[in-house]
Amino acid sequence: MLPVTGLFIPACTGDFEEMNTDPNNPVVIGPALLLPNAIQVSVDRYWGHSTRYERLNIDAAMCWMQHLARNIYINVEGDSYEIPLTVSSGTWDALYNDALVNFESVQRLSQVGGAFENSNYVGVALVMKAFTFSYMADVFGPIPYSEALQGTGEFPINSPKYDSMEDIYAGLLDDLKLANESLDINGPAISGDILFDGDIMRWKKFANSLRLKLANHQASQKPSESQSVMNEILADPGTFPIFTDNRDFAQLMHVDVIGSRNKMFDVFSTRSDWNISETLINELLELDDERITIYAQPLADGSYAGLPNGLTDAAAGNYSASIIGTKYLDPAAPSILMSYAELMFIQAEAAFDGDIDGDPAMLLEEAIAASFDQHGLVMPSDYMTRIGAVTKETIMTQKWLALFGQGVEAWTEYRRTGFPVFPAPNPDAVFYNDGVLPTRLEYPTSEYSLNKAALDEGLRLLGGDDNMRVPLWWVED
């Protein structure tokens, strides 16, 4: 772990400034300057970071979830369940050192008595910390949390302890409730908000929707607490507003300017290493699902075909398969953190499990309709008939279809619930990791050299060796 850095800049030079600046008190960088890059890094690492050998979503999760399949470099970049350790280290270092450390600074600077006191900055920082920490816990398992980001100050902590996923989730659920309380639509304005452009109500909706999501994630392990959280939110929309349609969910809008483009565009527009997975194509074709026209491009004859996952480079060369849809090749296409459809799938699952009141079938229908609408489509009137009886598998399989692009979240839901059930591998496929679809990422090697004692406790909390086969805490029994 690295200490907090980059929070101060030297005072300006020039004769006047030199005469009127105290060299012992550097100028403090405010939240408006810290927030944009921190948000950008957190979103990019979730949606589609463009640095090769660090692309967790595109190279690993989207292939493991059989949304995509690689047609080259199969055995070193994810599709065969083997990834370089730089995926772990790049994700870890960027999220701690470039995102979380700055969200922590925004919170400290904006709290009561801070240099930029503003409760709305505090709320934003709490939401983004919760999003980022939950993402990391869902990927690695136990991580430094309660003592993380404490590298400066009177009593710095440079070797932070690891916390259990249970404790991390408890802290994040508390923080999200505090965020909702801190965010005041009649309060002071904020700047540097590249996610919601200063719209505090949208931040409140994101906070409460994310809180619902985390409660749902842990519901099988802490049913009473999770039910209490979900019902508290759903029973009082005035106090706890959530996403209500496709106009206000959490997505980062991009522009066609270098450095500000959709990262999937940066990756897919320059390389042709991926096709749409045969598993996804076959499911969409079986349902006669029009979302296939969004997710994939047709072949020259107008048909759609997928590539089996895990093929060797030579075997993959024998296939003609669809590539990713043009929507994802738009440099201005949004990066999605959490959609309205995802929120409705959460409610459908929770209702099916008996954690909240409601008709699972009706909530599922709303979720699917929201997914179609998100892509400018209308759900066919007979679609619910096509998918058959509403079961846990039906709900989670439809959620898997809707999470195209959000490979990390689809991976989390697969590991947590066991759905969807994927078909048997192609006979020519080759998989490593003992043939086990990865359950987590390994810790970066830097933790072994810089934070070994804490890491050892983290492995005890994990309950297994540091490999990609140990199940995480929220797995349903």
**What is the model's pLDDT at position 416?**
99
- In tens, the pLDDT along 117-161 reads 999 999 999 999 999 999 999 999 999 999 999 987 778 999 999
Residue 464 and residue 466: Cα distance in Å, rounded?
7
Give residue 76's pLDDT band: very low, low, confident or very high (50, 70, 90): confident
- Assign 5 a pLDDT band (cuts: 50, 70, 90): very low
* Confidence at 476, pLDDT banded by 50, 70, 90: very high
CB-based contacts of 418, cutoff 8 Å, min separation 6: 476
Residue 221 identity (one-letter amino acid)? Q
Which residues, 6 or more positions from 404, have their beta carbon under 8 angstroms from its beta carbon? 67, 280, 291, 295, 410
In this predicted structure, what is the pLDDT of residue 25? 59
Token representation of residue 273: 């290493």
**Would you say 36 and 192 are in contact if contact means Cβ atoms under 8 Å apart?**
yes
Q: Which residues contact 101 (CB under 8 A, 6 or more apart)?
A: 4, 5, 6, 149, 151
Amino acid 281: pLDDT: 99
Q: Answer yes or no: is pLDDT of 216 > 50.
A: yes
State residue 152's pLDDT score: 76
> What is the H or E stretch that residue 335 is in?
strand 335-338
Helices first, then strands: H and E counts in the chain: 20, 8
Instruction: Find where tokens 């997928």 sit.
Output: 306
- Over the chain, what is the mean pLDDT? 94
Measuring CA to CA, which residue among 225, 197, 160, 234 is closest to residue 447? 160
Q: What pLDDT does residue 26 have?
A: 59
State the Rg of the chain over Cα: 22
Q: State yes or no: pLDDT of 360 exceeds 50.
A: yes
What's the pLDDT at 155? 87
296 beta partners: 324
pLDDT tens digits, 8-18: 333 333 443 44
Confidence of residue 24 (pLDDT cuts 50, 70, 90): low
Q: Where are the domains of the chain?
A: 31-265+330-462
Q: Where are the alpha helices (DSSP H) in 261-339?
A: 263-268, 278-286, 292-295, 313-316
The average pLDDT across 233-258 equals: 97
The DSSP-derived string for 49-112 is: --STT--IIIIIIHHHTTSEEESSSTTTSSTTS---THHHHHHHHHIIIIIIHHHHHHHHHHST
Paired tokens of 243 = 């996403």
The class of domain 31-265+330-462 in CATH terms is mainly alpha
Neighbours of 460 (CB within 10 A): 12
